[in-house]
Amino acid sequence: MISYIFKQIGLGIISVVFVAIIICGIVFYSPVDPARMSFGQRSDEETIQLFKKKYFLDQPLHIQVFRFFEDLSPIQWISKDDLRLNDYSYKSLSVWKDNILILKKPYGRQSYSTGKPVFEMIAQALPSTFALAFISILCAVFLGLILGFISALHVHSKTDKFILAFCSLSYAIPSYVSSLIIVILFAFVWGNITGLPIQGSLWEFSDEGELQLQLKNLILPVLALGIRPVSMIAQMTRVASLDVIQSDFVRTARAKGINNIKLIYDHLLPNCINPILTTISSWFASLLAGSFFVEFVFNYKGLGLLTISALNQFDVPLILGCCIVVVIIFVIVNLITDLLYAYFDPRIRIA
């Protein structure tokens, strides 16, 4: 088990590195001058050249990518004259001539648009996105499992056909379309009845300037974000349950008069959990890292809205930071999913 965990972590690190290299290549080859983006068009040439020298923006692509990964590395061998030392929070481990070995926090550089550290901005946005994704997937799992098991136990009935039609329709509608429909209906047309705002974030400032938790601002984004996962979880639950229902032990249990709830809990769920778990984990990672359109429509201040703002402003360090965090999220969720396989299904043994 331990060796498997370390193997998966190693593969995850390799995935992060390769994806980051590809993203760096795309961004750094774009026809935009990062220095002028950072200081504006009226800055003097000396300041621009100093900025390029500091972050090696006047060097070839492979050197720029290497220096960027140097900033992310917790251990670094660096020259005492390197201008980046002023930005690092580090501890010196060893000194040799004009170079020092340092232990430091991973440095994602500073946003071109705000001048704030990139990882600080991501750390502020990520909890709101996590809350939105977590509540969305909980609601989607609850409704998806119920609909899937009902559909499987009443296969080919009108109820089954209605659930399948609902799942097909809800999955076919893109998230940004469902977001617009939901915000128009529940916040604009029926706003006087629901009392729900058109836009808003999890944390907002009151009229007195106090930061307050606004849970009602989660309702519509959760509804918009959770529709598609409900359809996929329901369909996967139905397909997996139908395979198990044909088994002899299920037929025997039903012949003995077992009720449907006990049948689901004792026989269906333990034997069809793996494909359902795969669907849940993949969608949770997608919700956690890809709720871009939903956050944009509802002006919900999370990782998705932050990434869209970075793309609009061509904020290179923030774009890279957000993309790397997204990749890390997918790697972590996949690792946790693989470990849960062995926990829920005793037939699986991880070598």
pLDDT higher than threshold 90 for residue 270:
no
What tokens appear for 246 in the block?
């044909």
- Going by pLDDT thresholds of 50, 70 and 90, the confidence category of residue 1 is low
Instruction: Tell which phi-psi region holds residue 257, choosing left (phi > 0), alpha (psi between -120 and 50) or beta.
Output: left
In what helix (H) or strand (E) does residue 103 lie, and over which residues does it extend? strand 99-104
- Tens-place pLDDT, residues 274-287: 788 888 887 887 78
Architecture (CATH level 2) of domain 118-344 = Orthogonal Bundle (1.10)
d(Cα 118, Cα 99) in Å, to the nearest integer? Answer: 27
Note whether 295 and 175 are within 8 A (CB): no
pLDDT higher than threshold 70 for residue 70:
yes
- Going by pLDDT thresholds of 50, 70 and 90, the confidence category of residue 343 is low
In what helix (H) or strand (E) does residue 76 lie, and over which residues does it extend? strand 75-79
- What residue type is 214 in one-letter code? Q
- Tens-place pLDDT, residues 101-160: 999 988 888 888 888 899 999 999 999 998 998 999 999 999 999 999 999 888 889 999
- Tens-place pLDDT, residues 195-245: 888 888 888 877 777 778 888 888 999 999 888 899 999 999 998 888 888
Task: State residue 348's pLDDT score.
Answer: 56
The DSSP code sequence of 148-168 is HHHHHHTTTSHHHHHHHHHHH
pLDDT higher than threshold 70 for residue 39:
no
Higher-confidence position of 2 and 180:
180
Higher-confidence position of 21 and 37:
21
- Going by pLDDT thresholds of 50, 70 and 90, the confidence category of residue 256 is confident
Percent of the chain residues topping a pLDDT of 70: 91
Q: How far apart are the first and last CA of the chain?
A: 6
Helix (H, G, I), strand (E, B) or coil at 92: strand
Task: State residue 141's pLDDT score.
Answer: 92
d(Cα 138, Cα 265) in Å, to the nearest integer? Answer: 18
In whole numbers, what is the pLDDT of the chain averaged over residues? Answer: 83
Which residue do the tokens 């729900």 mark? Answer: 196
SS (H, E, C) 181-223: HHHHHHHHHCHHHHCCCCCCCCEEECCCCCEEECHHHHHHHHH
Domain boundaries, the chain: 118-344
Percent of the chain residues topping a pLDDT of 90: 17
Task: State residue 346's pLDDT score.
Answer: 59
Contacts of residue 197, Cβ cutoff 8 Å, sequence gap at least 6 = 187, 216, 217
